[in-house]
Structure 1
Amino acid sequence: MLSDVQIRRVQEDDWRTVRDVRLRALREDPDVFGSSLAREELFAEPHWRMRLRSAATWVVDEDGTARGLVGMIQEPGSPTSDRHVVQLWVAPEARRRGMAWALLDAVRDAAQAEGAATVSLWVVDGNHAAGDLFVRAGFVRTGERHAQTRDASRVEERLVLRLT
């Protein structure tokens, strides 16, 4: 299933790869992210490098082509024992083959290595595929909800995975 696939943690010098995958994600699935394509297309190299310095980021490569990514941060205002999933995305042609699971595994493993007790994320209402994936991966819906930052008419719910 994932024989030609590699999950790799990227570094600051991989900024072009991360930029390209992120912009593709925003182009193809604009309604599921808290940011917009127009905003992130304006980011220059220093911004992308700063992002990679401030967030652990993994890319999933298939046959040498980046097909998805995920990031992990310590979200401001959250407990220091929590790590937060950001920008999880897999290209449409690569979905339903375990890549999102592998990216979530990378986050979970890194969070555990850092001594975190939980991993959390926000999923926008209507993104049923992502919500179902997270629940199957062990995340629990908290009922904590808020309006999406860039579009107050959309609502997100927080899900949490307890690490053992």
Structure 2
Amino acid sequence: MQIREMQEDDWQTVRDVRLRALREDPEVFGSSLAREEMFAETHWRMRLRSARTWVSLDAGGTARGLVGMIEEPGSPKSDRHVVQLWVAPEARRHGIGWSLLDAVRAAALADGAATVSLWVVDGNHAAGDLVVRAGFVRTQERHKLTRDPTQSEERLVLRLT
């Protein structure tokens, strides 16, 4: 498995794995498949210009995982935020999630960040367990999902310094 940082011209790979993630695990994301299927090439390219993104590729070049890192508006400048963390069901429990988080951690450290944060939807025990084992701490900071106000998510933070 290779973890590769995507560039703007890799937009189709990112689009394909992101849409697969939304198709297979819609309940764990803040967005929806219907919404993101409507995005044009220009939107996908803009996403790659505004968020560092890594994809896990198998030996055949098929994307098996995805993660992004942004400076979230309203968050401290010293925080980097994880978005769209996902691993394909057939590739789970093989260290891909760890490797994707390691890519974010290394990039955040190189960028001078003090923390990395993310939100985990209630009931997404696999993601919650992974990030807690990776050193993220539950904050008890919660909010309702915009796409489904009957669901909530919690913020977790990893201290880098």
TM-score norm. by structure 2 comes to: 0.99
Amino acid at match of 2:40: A
Q: CA deviation at 1:150?
A: 1.1
RMSD: 0.4
Of residues 125, 129, 133, the one that matches 2:126 is 129
Unaligned runs of 5+ residues in structure 1 are none
Of 71-80 and 60-69, more deviation after overlay is shown by: 60-69
Of residues 11, 14, 17, the one that matches 2:7 is 11
Amino acid at match of 1:146: H
Amino acid at match of 2:54: W
Unaligned runs of 5+ residues in structure 2 are none
1:143 corresponds to 2:140: yes
Q: Distance in 2 between matches of 1:125 and 1:39?
A: 22
For residues 47-66 of structure 1, the aligned pairs below 5 Å read 47-63=43-59, 64-66=61-63
Q: Distance in 2 between matches of 1:122 and 1:85?
A: 8
For residues 57-136 of structure 1, the aligned pairs below 5 Å read 57-63=53-59, 64-136=61-133
Q: CA deviation at 1:160?
A: 0.1
Of 78-87 and 62-71, more deviation after overlay is shown by: 62-71
| 1:30 equivalent in structure 2 | 26
Q: Distance in 1 between matches of 2:67 and 2:146?
A: 20
Amino acid at match of 1:25: A
TM-score norm. by structure 1 comes to: 0.97
Q: Distance in 2 between matches of 1:55 and 1:109?
A: 15
CA deviations on 1:106-161 (whole Å, 9 max, x unpaired) are 00000000000000000000001110101000000000000012111100000000
Among the aligned pairs, what percent are the same residue?
Answer: 82
- Name the count of aligned residue pairs: 160
Q: Distance in 2 between matches of 1:113 and 1:149?
A: 32
Greater than 4 Å deviation, 4+ residue runs: none
DSSP-derived class of the 1:152 partner: coil
